[in-house]
Amino acid sequence: MMIRAKVLPFLFCLVVVAFGTKESDLKQCKHQCKVLQQIKEYQREKCYETCEKLYHGEKHEKEEEINSYEGREEGENNPYVFNEEHFITGIETEHGRIRVLLKFSERSKLLKGIENYRFAILEANPKTFVVPNHWDADAVLFVAQGRGTLSLVRKGKRNSFNIGRGDVIKVCAGTTAYLINRDDNEKLVIAKLLRPVSTPGQFQHFFGPGGRQNPESFYSAFSSEILEAALNTRKDRLQRLFGQPREGVIIRASEEQIRVMSQHEQGGIWPFGGESKGSVNIYKQRPLQSNQYGQFYQVDDSNYKQLEDLDISLNFANITEGGMLGPIYSSRATKIAVVVQGEGYFEMACPHLASESESGRHQGSKERETRIGLSYQKVRSKLKRGMVLVIPAGHPFVAVASTNQNLQIVGFNVNARNNEIVPLAGRNNVMSQLEREALELGFGLPAREVEQIFRSQPEEFFFQGPGGRQSGRAAA
Tell me which residues in 57-86 interact with a copy of itself (CB under 8 A): 58, 61-62, 64-65, 68, 77, 79
Contact 279, 168 (CB under 8 A): yes
Candidates 16, 26, 31, 13; CA nearest to 57 is: 26
Among 371, 382, 384, 385, binds a copy of itself (CB under 8 A): 371
Among 8, 74, 284, 302, binds a copy of itself (CB under 8 A): 8
d(CA 338, CA 122): 13
**Considering only 109-117, 300-308, 381-389, 405-413, which stretch makes contact with a copy of itself by CB under 8 A?**
109-117
> In the bound complex, what is the minimum distance in angstroms from residue 282's beta carbon to a copy of itself?
23
Contact 215, 226 (CB under 8 A): no
Amino acid (1-letter code) at residue 183: D
d(CA 467, CA 388): 23
Among 26, 81, 110, 144, binds a copy of itself (CB under 8 A): 110
d(CA 323, CA 191): 25
Tell me which residues in 275-294 interact with a copy of itself (CB under 8 A): none
Candidates 174, 236, 161, 235; CA nearest to 203 is: 174
Instruction: Examine residue 327 and say whether the peptide bond preceding it is cis (omega within 30 degrees of 0).
Output: yes
> In the bound complex, what is the minimum distance in angstroms from residue 126's beta carbon to a copy of itself?
15
Indicate whether 408 belongs to the interface with a copy of itself (CB under 8 A): no
Q: Hey, which residues does 380 pair with through a beta bridge?
A: 347
d(CA 51, CA 28): 9
Helix (H, G, I), strand (E, B) or coil at 70: helix
**Considering only 139-147, 183-191, 282-290, 436-444, which stretch makes contact with a copy of itself by CB under 8 A?**
436-444
Candidates 197, 172, 179; CA nearest to 270 is: 172
> In the bound complex, what is the minimum distance in angstroms from residue 166's beta carbon to a copy of itself?
25
Tell me the H-state helices in 40-194: 44-55, 58-70, 104-107
Query: Which residue's CB is nearer to a copy of itself, number 339 or number 414?
Result: 414
> In the bound complex, what is the minimum distance in angstroms from residue 314's beta carbon to a copy of itself?
19
Candidates 254, 309, 315; CA nearest to 282 is: 315
Please tell me the number of Cα atoms within 13 Å of 140 on its side-chain side: 29
Contact 150, 160 (CB under 8 A): yes
Query: Which residue's CB is nearer to a copy of itself, number 269 or number 284?
Result: 269
> In the bound complex, what is the minimum distance in angstroms from residue 386's beta carbon to a copy of itself?
18
Tell me which residues in 179-238 interact with a copy of itself (CB under 8 A): 196-202, 204-211, 213-223, 225-226, 228-234, 237-238
Tell me which residues in 315-334 interact with a copy of itself (CB under 8 A): 324, 326-327, 329-332, 334
Amino acid (1-letter code) at residue 413: N
**Considering only 280-288, 313-321, 391-399, 404-412, which stretch makes contact with a copy of itself by CB under 8 A?**
391-399
Indicate whether 39 belongs to the interface with a copy of itself (CB under 8 A): yes
> In the bound complex, what is the minimum distance in angstroms from residue 384's beta carbon to a copy of itself?
19
Query: Which residue's CB is nearer to a copy of itself, number 261 or number 282?
Result: 261
Angle between helices 23-39 and 44-55 (to 10 degrees): 150
Among 71, 85, 255, 374, binds a copy of itself (CB under 8 A): 374
Contact 201, 115 (CB under 8 A): yes
> In the bound complex, what is the minimum distance in angstroms from residue 284's beta carbon to a copy of itself?
26
**What's the N-to-C CA distance of the chain in angstroms?**
66
> In the bound complex, what is the minimum distance in angstroms from residue 186's beta carbon to a copy of itself?
20
Query: Which residue's CB is nearer to a copy of itself, number 106 or number 184?
Result: 106
d(CA 237, CA 265): 37
Query: Which residue's CB is nearer to a copy of itself, number 165 or number 457?
Result: 457
Instruction: Examine residue 9 and say whether the peptide bond preceding it is cis (omega within 30 degrees of 0).
Output: no
Among 42, 145, 386, 460, binds a copy of itself (CB under 8 A): 42
> In the bound complex, what is the minimum distance in angstroms from residue 119's beta carbon to a copy of itself?
11
Indicate whether 382 belongs to the interface with a copy of itself (CB under 8 A): no
Among 60, 72, 158, 284, binds a copy of itself (CB under 8 A): 158
Candidates 400, 357, 398, 393; CA nearest to 377 is: 357
**Considering only 281-289, 297-305, 401-409, 459-467, which stretch makes contact with a copy of itself by CB under 8 A?**
459-467
Tell me which residues in 10-29 interact with a copy of itself (CB under 8 A): 10-20, 28
Indicate whether 31 belongs to the interface with a copy of itself (CB under 8 A): yes
Among 301, 305, 394, 460, binds a copy of itself (CB under 8 A): 394
Among 56, 94, 430, 448, binds a copy of itself (CB under 8 A): 430
Indicate whether 416 belongs to the interface with a copy of itself (CB under 8 A): no
> In the bound complex, what is the minimum distance in angstroms from residue 188's beta carbon to a copy of itself?
16
d(CA 220, CA 224): 8
Among 48, 83, 186, 247, binds a copy of itself (CB under 8 A): 247
Torsion, Cα 155 127 185 404, to 10 degrees, reads 40
